[in-house]
Each structure stands twice: as C-alpha cells, then as structure tokens.
Amino acid sequence: MSRRIFKAIFLISVFICLVTMVVTAFVLFHFMEKRTQTELKEALELITPGVEEEGNDYLEDLEASHTDRRITWINADGRVLYDNQADAAHMDNHSSREEFQEAVSSGSGSSIRHSDTMMVETIYYAERLPDGTVLRMSSDQDSIWAIFMSLTEPAVVMFMFIVLLSLFLALRVSQSILKPLNELNLEHPENNDTYEELRPLLNKIRTQQDVIREQQRTEMERAEAFRREYTANISHELKTPLTSISGFAELMMDGSVPKSMVKEFSRTIYDEASRLITLVNDIIRLSQLDDRNVEYEWTTVDLYALARENIRVLQAAADRKNVRIYLQGEKSEIRGVHRVLTDVVYNLIDNAIKYNRENGTVEVSVMPESDGRAVCLKVKDTGIGIPEKDLDRIFERFYRVDKSHSKAVGGTGLGLSIVKHGAALHHAKIETSSAVGKGTTIAIHFPDNFINDCTDGN
C-alpha cells in the first residue's frame, strides 16, 4: 500500500509539473505573439500619415531606423510598391496574402506564417490607406518549437529537479498518510485517534469482534456443556459394569458363592468385562474421529468387498437370531480410510441384526449412483424400527431409544455416532428412514454434493 500511494503521488506530481510547464510555455508564447501584433499595429499607425503624404520618399527615409521590422507597401491590385528588405520590382503579387485581403476588405488585417523548417514564424499586420493601397509591417520571432528546442537543456535540468523533489515529497506524504494507519490499534478499535473517514470501518470491526467474541463464548459454553455431559455419560457407562464385576468378584472372593453358581457368576463377570472392552474401544474410536490432528491413510476402498467382509464377521450373530443377510450390488470404489469405513459398515449391519426380530432379514446394498462416480451404501432391516421423534437423535453419543433393550443386545450407545463421524470424514450424507414395527433403512451417499434417493421408505 505504501508503495502504491508513493507511486501515485510521485507520478501525479511529475505529470502535473510537466503539463504545467508545457501549458505555461504555450500561454507565454501566445502572449508574445499578441504583444508583437500590438507593437506592429502601433508602429504602423505611426508611419501611416507620412506614407499618405510622401509615399516612397518617406519610406526610404525610414529604412535606416526600422531595420529590424519589414515594411511593405502594396498597391490595391497586390503589386508591391515598396519593401525595405527586398527589391519591390522582383517581388510576387501579394493579392493572395491573408493579411492583405483582410485589410482590403475590412481596413486592417493580420496573419502569422511559419518558415519551412517551422523554427521561425513571421507576424504580419496590414492597414488599408485612404487611397486603397495597403501598408504592411512584419516581424520575425522564434516559433514555439524553436523555443522548446532552445529550452531543452534547462528543461531537462528542471525536470530532474522536479523528479527529485516529487520523490522526496511523495515519500514524506505517503509516510505521513500511512503512519496513522500503521499505528491503528485493532485490538481496541474504539481507542484510535485517527482519520474520521476510518471511523465507520473501525466501528464495524468492533461490532464484528463483539459478535465473534460472543460466538466464541457460546461455542465454548456449548463445548464445555458437551464435554461435561459426555464425561458424565462415560463415567456412568463405565461404572455400571465395573460395579457389577466388583460385586460378583467380591462374593466369589468371600467364598460365599455355592460351587454350582461359580460358573454363572464367572460368565457374568466375563460378559460385563467384554461390554467394558467394547465400550472403551468405541470411546477410543470416537475420540480419534474427534481429533483433527490424526493423519489418516487414504486409499481406494471397495465398499462392496468391505460389506461382504463385515457380513462374514457378523454372520454368527445373525445366525443366533435367525436373521438372514442379503448382499446386493457391485464393486464400488471410493477414496477413503479403510479402518473408519469398516467401523461404519460394521456398526450399521450390527445394529440391523441387533434390533431385528427373530427370522428377520437384513438387506445390504452397495451401488454406484447415477453418474457412476458416487456410491450409495444402504442397510435395510425388518426390525423394531425407530419412532419418528427419535430419528434425529439416534446419532447423538449415548442416545438410545430403549436403554434396556440396547444394553440387553450389547449396545454401547456410540455405534451411530461413529457412523456419523466416519461419514462426515468422507463428506458423505446420511439418510435415515424408519417405521416402528416394520424396520429401518440407513443409506450413506459417498461422496458429498451428490444426493440421490436410494432409500425406499422403511
């Protein structure tokens, strides 16, 4: 900015000086021309009475005293009667000369003619005498070009001086303009004693700072509330199985458990410990997804193969409930993080089995969407469904529609949160539809900005 202001001031000053020099030269030159014309007129008026009375004799007497000016006496037909600088007998007829014609028609006339080289110009003034003859006087002077040429040297010196002066002034002015700007206190825009024109801008900055501070405060409060709730939830979720493990272990330690019950107690401790491990693993997965500094390994992932693999892993769980899993679609590759996508697919199919009815079905489909670039992963079950009012909340951490049911089927309340964050990492859009008692369909569209309806209602 400093350079721009400096450059602008410098160029403007040099330009103004140059224009001023040229305009002044033209004005002065024009003034000189006018003054010469006036002098010619006055001189001509002085000699006119003598010429009227004595004619050539008078003019010849004058010759000695007016050598710097040319005097020509012209007959009414344009023939030269007398000229103090040339032989009148050999001169051209002057009837076509501008000042002569003007003088004949209106009593007096003037004109300016340039030499062939344009370096000299001749100023003429002519007057008609009572006998119809015309008396003319002329004077040579340097043309404006000749003046410019002769002034070249001083003009260059002057120009250099102007350039230096402009440089100096431009530097000083730009510095003094920018000083208050550089010293602006943007931390506290209201504490500035600066240009009045900047006041609206400073006010705006202050207002925006207030808004940002308020937003930051709200954001921090929200984050803090979220953190507290999340911590409380985690503590609660950890505490329940730990209490149970500790209680059963204590009973067994006391030896107060009959031998026949030891196996059952041990199973309970094992189940609760497994739940704890699953919960802790989910918490770790989520905190990794929350961490913006984690660097993922992005590769090409075939979602169809991934779905097939997860179905294989979950087949035993499905068999226990007599749930049949169908997979349809085709090889569908996206750019993604294999580990995160595995968690997404696993949790969706796991839920579809967990919340299904006996002898129900799960349909998994992986297909490219219409333009061949985006992929839609859809998991549809014939399970208990989700009430409309809960649909928006099931992706929240630890939110369960039916807590006891979730616990009974080994849920942690974090599965869909992992799905949500995993999808967000891949800029994918989630669509959920469900009908209580009929089933649920969750579809994920990869990548973002490509929305195609691949859910079909339940």
Give the Cα separation of 132 and 145 in Å (integer): 37
Strand pairing class (324-329; 361-368)? parallel
365 binds ligand ADP (CB under 6 A): no
Q: How far is the CB of 430 from ligand ADP (least distance, A)?
A: 12
Backbone angles phi, psi at 206, to 5 degrees: -65, -45
What kind and span of H or E run contains 148? helix 144-150
Q: Is 321 in the site for ligand ADP (CB under 6 A)?
A: no
Rounded to whole angstroms, what are the CA distances from 234 to 92, 118, 138, 181, 280? Answer: 121, 100, 113, 53, 9
Number of C-alpha atoms within 13 angstroms, CB side, residue 87? Answer: 2
Q: Does 279 bind ligand ADP (CB under 6 A)?
A: no
User: Can you tell me which of 364, 416, 430, 444 binds ligand ADP, judged by CB under 6 A?
Assistant: 416
CB closer to ligand ADP, 272 vs 381: 381
Residue 205 sits at the vertex; the CA angle it makes with 203 and 206, to the nearest 5 degrees, is 65
* Interface region with ligand ADP, contact rule CB under 6 A, candidates 182-190, 227-235, 237-245, 407-415: 407-415
From candidates 360, 368, 415, 422, binder to ligand ADP by CB under 6 A: 415
Q: φ, ψ for residue 456 (rounded to 5)?
A: -125, 30
CB of 334 to ligand ADP, least distance (A): 22
* 71 vs 348 by CB, closer to ligand ADP: 348
* 422 forms part of the interface with ligand ADP (CB under 6 A): no
> Judged by CB under 6 A, which stretch of 23-31, 155-163, 300-308, 378-386 contacts ligand ADP?
378-386
Task: Closer to ligand ADP by CB, 286 or 374: give it.
Answer: 286
**Judged by CB under 6 A, does residue 384 bind ligand ADP?**
yes
Kindly tell me which residue out of 52, 271, 363, 402 binds ligand ADP, with binding defined by CB under 6 A: 402
Three-point CA angle 448, 454, 455, nearest 5° = 115
Kindly tell me which residue out of 352, 375, 377, 444 binds ligand ADP, with binding defined by CB under 6 A.
352
Q: Where in 72-111 is the site for ligand ADP (CB under 6 A)?
A: none
Which is closer to ligand ADP, CB of 189 or CB of 411? 411
Instruction: Let me know if 14 is exposed, middle or buried by CB neighbors in 10 A (0-12, 13-18, 19+).
Output: middle
Nearer to ligand ADP, 123 or 314 (CB): 314
| Closest distance of CB 354 from ligand ADP, Å | 6
Which single residue is written with the structure tokens 């068999």? 319
Handedness of CA 98, 102, 104, 109 (dihedral sign): negative
DSSP-assigned letter for residue 220: H
Q: Which residues form the interface with ligand ADP (CB under 6 A)? A: 347, 351-352, 355, 381, 383-386, 394, 399-402, 406, 411-417, 440
